[in-house]
């Protein structure tokens, strides 16, 4: 059995999760503190990929990154780099479709943060950067980790935009999702079912890990509240 689709899917999902983790935290924190009108406008733009069909996302990416399109032509001319029909093109697609999950979850965590904790740290002379990483992030960590896990799971199962941007080439651009479709299309139901079960197993492990982390976080919070009393 060729394990390349699984290795490629995990590689793409891991890279895109790292990107959306930091981008999602930064933008969620920025939007959470923005005025209401600005917050509403930014929220629509940043969440839009969540409600768009993946094929629409894939088409828009092709318009931007295609070899005869602005960014694609610039990358080819300056860097001799292709932005479509290569494995790393899937990272662009998975970042776009998984970003709203990370952003929305992190924004909810930041909005639930008690600002008096930050005010107390400021009275002690701490900088905003120190407050963000040492006070705000630990308090919001449970929601942020949940967003990262959901983003990873979404990136792992992405098909529509990925297939449009990368196509399907065994040993090159194949992912688990595109492999399932190709095997089904060619009548190999047994092979398709095998990859479906692999994907189900990985997704179940990821979600179980998220549930365990959330339960541990709730238990730790309860223990801290009990100790405070």
∠ CA 162-163-168, nearest 5°, is 120
Cβ count near 210 (within 10 Å): 19
Q: What is the pLDDT of residue 93?
A: 93
Q: What is the pLDDT of residue 14?
A: 95
Q: Report the distance separating Cα 188 and Cα 199, nearest Å.
A: 17
Residue with tokens 């990272």: 91
Q: Tell me which residues of the chain have a pLDDT lower than 50.
A: 228
For residue 58, give the nearest of 93, 31, 110 by alpha carbon. 93
Longest alpha-carbon distance in the chain = 68
At 178-208, the pLDDT tens digits run 999 999 999 999 999 999 999 899 888 888 8
What DSSP line would sit under 94-107, residue for residue? HHHHHHHHHHHHHH
Q: Please, which contacts does 63-72 make with residues 24 or more away whose CB atoms are closer than 8 Å?
A: 65/89, 65/92, 65/165
For residue 106, give the nearest of 19, 28, 18 by alpha carbon. 28
DSSP H stretches of helix in the chain: 4-32, 36-51, 54-65, 70-79, 89-111, 115-123, 128-131, 137-156, 160-166, 176-185, 189-228
Q: What is the pLDDT of residue 35?
A: 84
Q: Report the distance separating Cα 37 and Cα 91, nearest Å.
A: 32
Q: What is the pLDDT of residue 25?
A: 93
Question: Under CATH, what is the fold of the domain 4-228?
Answer: MetI-like fold (1.10.3720)
Q: Where are the domains of the chain?
A: 4-228
| Contact residues for 165 (Cβ-Cβ < 8 A; gap 6+) | 58, 61, 62, 65, 84, 85, 89, 90, 92, 93
Phi/psi region, residue 138 (left: phi>0; alpha: psi -120 to 50; beta: rest), is alpha
Q: Report the distance separating Cα 170 and Cα 43, nearest Å.
A: 38
Q: What is the pLDDT of residue 217?
A: 67
């Amino acid at each position: 059995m060729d394990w390349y689709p699984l290795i490629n899917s995990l590689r793409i999902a891991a890279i895109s999760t790292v990107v959306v983790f930091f981008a999602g935290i930064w933008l969620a924190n920025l939007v959470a503190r923005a005025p209401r009108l600005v917050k509403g406008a930014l929220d629509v733009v940043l969440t839009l990929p969540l409600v768009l069909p993946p094929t629409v996302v894939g088409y828009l990416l092709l318009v931007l990154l295609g070899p005869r399109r602005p960014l694609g032509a610039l990358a080819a001319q300056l860097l001799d780099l292709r932005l479509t029909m290569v494995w790393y093109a899937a990272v662009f697609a998975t970042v776009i479709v998984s970003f709203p999950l990370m952003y929305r979850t992190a924004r909810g965590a930041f909005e639930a943060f008690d600002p008096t904790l930050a005010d107390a740290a400021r009275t002690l002379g701490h900088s905003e950067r120190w407050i963000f990483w040492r006070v705000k992030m630990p308090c919001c960590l449970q929601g942020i980790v949940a967003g990262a896990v959901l983003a990873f799971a979404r990136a792992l199962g992405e098909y529509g935009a990925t297939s449009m941007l990368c196509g399907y080439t065994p040993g090159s651009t194949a992912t688990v999702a595109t492999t399932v479709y190709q095997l089904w299309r060619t009548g190999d139901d047994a092979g398709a079912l095998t990859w479906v079960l692999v994907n189900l197993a990985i997704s179940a492990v990821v979600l179980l890990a998220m549930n365990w982390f959330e339960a541990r976080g709730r238990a730790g919070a309860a223990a801290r509240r009990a100790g405070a009393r």
